[in-house]
Structure 1
Amino acid sequence: MKTNRAVRTPGGLSVRLDVRALTVVLLLLLAAFAASVLLIGTGDFPISAGDVVKTLLGNGDPGQEFIVNELRLPRVLVALLVGASLGLGGALFQAVSGNPLGSPDILGLGQGATAGALTMIVLFSGSANQVTIGALVGGLVTGLAIYLLAWKQGVHGYRLVLVGIGMSAILTAVNGYLLTVSDIVDAARSVVWMTGSLSGRDWAQVWPLLALCTVLVPLVLANARGLRMMEMGDDVSNALGVRVERVRALLMISAVLLTAAATAAAGPVSFVALTAPQLARRLTRSPGPNLLPSLCMGAALLVVADWASQRLFGADQMPVGVVTGVVGGAYLLWLLVTERRAGRI
């Protein structure tokens, strides 16, 4: 089956179109929308899918409009934006490092954001907004430290992963220490945040994430061609006119921002950044970073996981981070076995 097709634009340019990848993106968007409608209708006051759609279009009764638009829609939008940010950030890290294990979960960015949040909770008894800022700052500082420590005439993929694993171990110890010196109230609050949850999310979390994605997603997609050329090696990419270190630094900064913002909004939701790019690549069967399919896969994964947690365990009984952690951990074990059998690790 032919999956690539050349499309000629009115200006005379020839654009390569991957039909299979485009189909996967459309199906993932459809799945994300369907899961979002089901999630909005799930809760102590169930609403049918038809009534949810009617309410979203402005034709619901006042009670349904309050429940849908004020209570449940912000949570679903946060899930979509967090999942999309983690999926895209994970695809960028894996493409830059050239390693399927090069995700924020392995590199320690989640632990860095957690350290920032725990610092605000334990040492300063910070408010929700201050905890969010602490998590964002912690993720950014961790990303910068990993990049600088991995730098040696450029950033090599395996060096980046090794430095990230070391940083993750250090930050895990720091987080454990912060928990041991906290009082019982702050410790309980910290553990809830560390689990990764969408409970209680409102429009205050939606707008910053939406603004960040509006800026970064087009910027990242505009550099997708350079990222794909970089897979052939730095020397070849430079010969083809790609400013390798500039593109790599720009994409790394974007990936860190996306991951840190997602973690600040919902806590360290595990393994979405690891599994989404790999699943997207297997569905599209296309080489390269698969940035847009990874973004859509991350959004669909997180919404489906949140819906499944509510359907199986009841509203807000099982944090979504537990579900993604179990599924993602099993996938990580499978990936490690597969890579070992292929002789790549």
Structure 2
Amino acid sequence: MPTKLRAGRPAGPRPLRIPGGISLRLERRALAVGLLLAVTALALAVVLIGTGDFQIAPADVVQTLLGNGTPANDFIVNDLRLPRVLVALLVGASLGMSGAVFQSVSRNPLGSPDLLGFGYGSAVGALVVIIVFKGGATEVALGALVGGLIAGLAVYLLAYKRGINGYRLVLVGIGASAMLVAVIQYLLTKAQLVEATRAMVWLTGSLAGRDWGQVWPLLAACAVLFPLVLGQGRALRMMEMGDDAAHALGVRVERTRLLLMVAGILLTTAASAAAGPISFVALAAPQLARRLTRSPGAGLLTAALMGAVLLMLSDWASQRAFGADQLPVGVVTGLVGGVYLLWLLVTERKAGRI
């Protein structure tokens, strides 16, 4: 039976208008998925805070976070475990949103920071500081940030030819990744045993030992970059229809694309600086969020929430699923992400897109 539409009421999601000229277009399914992911992330945070050699019940964790816990619980929760969980949440959200940006800009599900070389650029910057300059944790974080930005700028310039083509961006990124991996291997062969061990620990990607010193810089970066990226969400959806269509709708395509790429690179490098190169979260989170929401758009916020959920689930698995032998979270995401990448390649091949 055909659906009857009232005059002047087009089908589809209705816009929510906010004073100041801001308009948000909400879809019921996307909103429901976003709320479900947010609740799941909060529940996982409580479970993770209570997980460890000294188990704390979820109710006691909540009481402690509200300021009503025992002195022992207060020390364990607020000083030891809460920073690690916040880093996991912020790193996962940053990688999820960054992956959504690059997959949308390149219009390619493989257009992830993992495959475009930005994570490897951060790794080179960090290893130079560790192996060559013998720097501390702060210097390593700054090196990762600078290395990622340089790699991102190089990929952008090499892929630019009267604009950025998504297919060309992915190819240039894969080539840059191969070159940066070679640089990483060279640096490791020249390192002394102590520096090489430290470098390998950093390259694995881990949340162990994270404290408030990693939380505050990452939180500041997210507070600036998340609103910036979300503010460009409408333009990003238009750009997915093609540059010509976006131009016709008034979008300054190259300026918007450059702004989004810089923001995405900063999100990736900030996450790498805080926890090392966590692989495959940026690749998987946007695609999983899009399949749940069944939305054709970028789904920036749902991708960020999905990234947070994936990384916290991986952290829980690294602590609980392997008994006393805890794995770095980067190993878990690599194992899961490798299987996901194979599935994605098979799916895209069957659909005739690759």
TM-score above 0.5, yes or no:
yes
1:332 aligns with 2:341: yes
Q: 2:49 aligns with which of 29, 34, 40?
A: 40
Q: TM-score, normalised by structure 2?
A: 0.94
- Residue 306 of structure 2 is matched in structure 1 by 297
Q: TM-score, normalised by structure 1?
A: 0.97
Q: 1:243 aligns with which of 252, 270, 285?
A: 252
The answer to whether the Cα contact below 8 Å between 1:31 and 1:300 also exists between their aligned partners in 2 is yes
1:50 aligns with 2:59: yes
Q: 1:123 aligns with which of 126, 132, 136?
A: 132
Q: What is the alpha-carbon distance in structure 2 between the residues aligned to residue 234 and residue 283 of structure 1?
A: 27
Supply the AA of the counterpart residue of 1:276.
A
- Residue 66 of structure 1 is matched in structure 2 by 75
1:160 aligns with 2:150: no
- Residue 146 of structure 1 is matched in structure 2 by 155
- The secondary structure found in structure 1 opposite 2:25 is strand
Q: What is the alpha-carbon distance in structure 1 between the residues aligned to residue 258 and residue 107 of structure 2?
A: 15
- Residue 6 of structure 1 is matched in structure 2 by 14
- The secondary structure found in structure 2 opposite 1:20 is helix
1:198 aligns with 2:207: yes
Supply the AA of the counterpart residue of 1:6.
R
Shift of the alpha carbon at 1:75? 0.3
- Residue 230 of structure 1 is matched in structure 2 by 239
Q: What is the alpha-carbon distance in structure 1 between the residues aligned to residue 96 and residue 190 of structure 2?
A: 34
Q: What is the alpha-carbon distance in structure 1 between the residues aligned to residue 16 and residue 144 of structure 2?
A: 46
- Residue 174 of structure 1 is matched in structure 2 by 183
Shift of the alpha carbon at 1:125? 1.1
Runs of at least 5 residues in structure 2 that lack an aligned partner in the other structure: 4-10
Q: What is the alpha-carbon distance in structure 2 between the residues aligned to residue 10 and residue 122 of structure 1?
A: 52
Supply the AA of the counterpart residue of 1:17.
L
Q: What is the alpha-carbon distance in structure 1 between the residues aligned to residue 261 and residue 15 of structure 2?
A: 31
Identical pairs, percent = 67
Supply the AA of the counterpart residue of 1:254.
A
Deviation track 1:140-160 (CA, whole Å, cap 9, x = no partner) reads: 100010001100110000110
Q: What is the alpha-carbon distance in structure 2 between the residues aligned to residue 256 and residue 13 of structure 1?
A: 26
Supply the AA of the counterpart residue of 2:322.
F
Q: What is the alpha-carbon distance in structure 1 between the residues aligned to residue 234 and residue 18 of structure 2?
A: 21
* CA-atom RMSD in angstroms: 1.7
Q: What is the alpha-carbon distance in structure 2 between the residues aligned to residue 106 and residue 245 of structure 1?
A: 22
Q: What is the alpha-carbon distance in structure 1 between the residues aligned to residue 324 and residue 87 of structure 2?
A: 16
